[in-house]
Structure 1
């Protein structure tokens, strides 16, 4: 493909504006986390406030804990998680499955390994606008066979949210969002449209590739790439191995972010209120004193 072909693909191709390496660290015994977004040098990519690449082995896991003010997407690569929350959702998500959870005004849930071995996946946090932060919580599981997929010219995609290669996800996103799991065979190229007003980034799960420009330096596995403005992203796999990456794009909220894990609000006073509500079992956390996961 020539440079002129690259220009034809988009009026303004998105280029890499920032690149950071997600290094692994042991969060707890049996838990390994690569902090991709939500770190000191990449606090957020509005509307996304966190992306973790996790690995966990029993008995480690994420036992009962609260959230407020955002939505989370948990995407399993290997193994599975037993998930349960106090709004009545309970089940198991396994390789290729996702759980989309709206924390809203408050939810308490658990995420524990489904059996022995190592369990791997990604968890993405999508901020909610101030007018939606105190909505009622809910959860939905989407199994692998319910995630739209497409393949063309050496490119495969799983459309968790949004649209790619002519297929569209049925998942409703309160904050307009695309979440796309792309795989490119050696020699393949991709040209994915992204609304100009949206922010976007990619996380490289496996392999390496050229992002934004065919003449760019290869971006390697476990790097996060934040893209500048434009109407689409071009990617080339010039290596001898497959390239896999998660592409996320979303309409920015352009609101202040106050984040104190496990809460994401607009102000520190709202964070203090969330902490107090949780401790006092009120304003969305009424079930705290009576509910325990199984």
Structure 2
């Protein structure tokens, strides 16, 4: 660690409260709500909780990426290109919607399925790419533990370990667990925006005299090149994700599942979807198995 440390402090915190979303699902939305519409390049962060038959049935996307990271249970994804799969606890799906995807995300098991879904904006030059996926099973996500700190490197780098995930919008996504009494110093590129989302336990973030924060809080980090975190508990682990990304600095026009740079591009996205053209051709005759009523829970 360089001696020239500029510590990032928490400049804003939000408690993500439950709200309804999809078809009977519950999410705790932190980015993408009225207090924080956009945190360049991040469009949305949901901590979701869903039990069958609720879920996220057939819906479109254009112009950004969705990152789904499972915390508990399993979700089955399928799209109009014929891509289908199930991600389970600890698994990752990094989907580049690009010019257009219609897909569904539904529970694949009994009980409550929990996870995080992050939307990352794409620059104008990448918005109309062909869709693509990067999927990692839990066993394939690099995990390192040192001095009471364990990290799962979903994207970017931590503790000398890099993720194989390619990020068109440069991004770091790290899942940290701190044992009681442990302390973390994690570098973050100085020009990037970054935030923390708390999952389990209580932690002290930014400065050692800050008040401890409990789960379901979004913490926006100010400028600097290092974030520090302390678990001052004597008996409980602290778990959170640290996410950072290079700001795009471009105009953002969002309407529901479409995110473009201008109103005209949004109108075009709606026309393309409604008329099943320009990337949405296969939407005309496609319906997911879940909507067809073929799933039995």
Q: Which band: TM-score by shorter chain?
A: over 0.9
Do the aligned partners of 1:87 and 1:138 also contact (CA within 8 Å) in 2?
A: no
TM-score, normalised to structure 1's length?
0.95
Secondary structure of the 1:234 match is strand
Secondary structure, counterpart of 2:195 in structure 1 = strand
CA distance in 2, matches of 1:179, 1:28: 25
Determine if the alignment matches structure 1 residue 215 to structure 2 residue 209: yes
- Cα offset, 1:97, TM superposition: 0.4
> Which position in structure 2 is the counterpart of 1:279?
274
How big is the alpha-carbon RMSD for the aligned residues of Structure 1 and Structure 2? 1.4
Secondary structure in 2 aligned to 1:53?
strand
Shift of 1:25: 2.0
Q: Is the 8 A contact 1:73 1:125 kept in 2?
A: yes
Q: 2:281 aligned with 1:270, yes or no?
A: no
Residue matched to 1:3: none
Q: Aligned residue for 1:135?
A: 129
Question: 1:78: which partner in 2?
Answer: 72
Change (3 A) 1:101 1:8: closer
TM-score calculated relative to the size of structure 2? 0.94
Equivalenced residue count is: 288
SS of residue in 1 equivalent to 2:99? coil
2:6 equivalent to 1:12: yes
- Would the aligned equivalents of 2:22 and 2:57 in 1 still touch at CA under 8 Å? no
SS across alignment from 2:278: coil
Instruction: For residue 132 of structure 1, give the secondary structure of its aligned residue in structure 2.
Output: coil
Q: Distance in 1 between matches of 2:169 and 2:285?
A: 32
Structure 2 counterpart of 1:33 = 27
Pairing partner for 2:156 from 148, 157, 162: 162
Unaligned regions of 5+ residues in structure 2, if any? 290-297
CA contact 2:23–2:56 (8 Å) conserved in 1 = no
Shift of 1:88: 3.0
Alignment partner, residue 57 of structure 1: 51
Match of 2:292 in 1: none
Give yes or no for contact 1:89–1:139 (8 Å, CA) kept in 2.
Answer: no
Map of 1:1-294 to 2, 5 A cutoff?
10-27=4-21, 30-240=24-234, 241-294=236-289
1:4 match: none
1:9 to partner: Cα distance: 5.7
The question of whether the paired residues in 2 share the 8 Å contact of 1:182 and 1:244 is answered with yes
